[in-house]
Structure 1
Amino acid sequence: MSFWVQTGRPALQDVDVVADNLADAITMLYPLDTDQLILSWNLVPIALSYCEDVQVMVDDIVVLLEQLRDPATESARVYWGSSTFRAEWRLRREGPNLVVESRWESTSGSYEFLLNDRSPLTVDTVAFTREWLKVLRRLVEDVAAKSVALDNADMLLRARALLTAAESPGAEAPGAPGTPSEAGGATVRFQLSAANAGNAAAANLWRAEPAVARLFTGEARLVADALGVPSGIGEPEGDRCTVDLPAFSTFCATAVEGYANQPGIQRALTVGFVATALALLDRAGHPLPPAPSAEQQAAWSALRDQHAAVMPR
């Protein structure tokens, strides 16, 4: 194949502070001395450092893939600005393919002269997108594995949205009309019980895809069993799922209070669920439960807001 990416298995470091954004998280998450990302362009391999190169490139990767998912995008331009991966790419559609005209200025190993001789690159649009999604998947999964909190999670959420769109059953090829976000379909509405609805600004807390709703309520049962308190989250019935606010508030407070004392793997398995639950609690008009420390309080607040941004109402 004329274009491919190998993400490797880079080592991860603990990140004990709130990162400014996704690029900052990447800088702190990956040590310099670990597996590199390998990008092959017309049979020329290029090594990229996660903490030095990928952190500079990540915003451009997200924006480029968003553009390619839009069927109205006929051409695009990206300028990679890392000191050891500096190049300008101009992309245009030709049927199912992309033609990428490139001008290389600097690469690790000083291969720019060879790369300039091998421009342009012609590649299937689906294959091109799939290779870049491998990079985003590596980053998103590693950020989640280390529970890294971000002050500005915009790019992380957009990367997750791209991955979700690509992995959804029946997802269209990039650039095709009718992406999953545009296709209607049934949803499950999480609502406060009738007795609680008057206590919140809105009774509707979340409109989730059925598979997501089943996953969330299933996790609620398991976490409630582990904590020894009821979750307050009912079972989906048709297109509705009822939340009992007093029980749910106690459940969230118990989860936040006991989080720090859980084994590391248990924290990694439950952090996403708890952040989603806190987003629902916030929408029900309840503040974030107190955490054992100010740092944990800030981290939960950031994670709650990250999840809320991708939870339609």
Structure 2
Amino acid sequence: MHKPILIAALLSLSASAMATTPPAPAPQTYASQLGTGIIVDWARTERGIREFDPLAVRDYQQRGFGHVRIRVTGEAMHQRLVHLQKIVEACQKYNVVPIVSYQAGSESDAQVVAWWTTTARYFAQRFPQLGFDILYEPSDKLSHAQLNALYEKAGKAIHKISPQRMVLISPQAYTQPDSLKWPDSATAPVMANWHLFPYGPVAVKGKRGWTTGTPAEKAAIRTRINNVLHWQQKTGHSSWVGAWSVGEVVKSGPTKQQIAFATFTACELQKAHLPFAVNGDGKFYDGEEGAWRPEMQPLLDAILRPQCTN
């Protein structure tokens, strides 16, 4: 006799819960919310896990970071997922977009898909701003076709559980996104992840780097960016520079050339409205002390608030 009333009540509660969970933003909107981010090891290394403090997320947000790329490795065990949730909750509290990036080793396609299936089920449709970066470093052993097939399988598994979850896919060696075959689902949100000359655009003595900001060096960076902008316009897809660095920084701090490289590149990316993440958190922030490394301030300022010229 009371069964219809009970069913109606449950449906009402379900509808109320769904109403309180805002839909995930579209790729273009999502990209505009990312701003400048940073790669963090809060869920990857023993030290990163041990030192993680939600107040660090507050510090990152106050410093000017809009998102964090959270590297994760190993099995998707419950304990690790609980820890990952703490990070995501802190990001939500301090208005920082969290992107989980799976750093696979020798796992097979089936194992990668299983990892994402478990993770997608754990988060279900919660945390609409949470993004899933399927592979932190796509293996160079995979052909373009094999990589695209893996993205298709993993993306389908994720979107079956959470249809509006943002998924990020990377071309082989993080080159231009032209080689990516977009997953079949027409409505599921997907973005491309590519990289931009982490040590500089020109080969010097066998190594890529940035010398004095020559016209050729600047032109190479602008060409790479313009090619991606053309690809975005042609395909209607959005993209994100998932990692960028100015090379190794010595203990005494960054060089003038590194700061110049950071300033020019950050300006060009900002002018193009392309979000990017810098690598990596331990270089700039002392997790044990809960404080920014003072010698890195000039480089951080160049990345976050570059003094751009026309």
Q: What TM-score results when the alignment is normalised by the length of structure 1?
A: 0.25
Higher relative contact order (CA 8 A, sep 6+): 2
Q: What TM-score results when the alignment is normalised by the length of structure 2?
A: 0.25
Greater gyration radius: 1
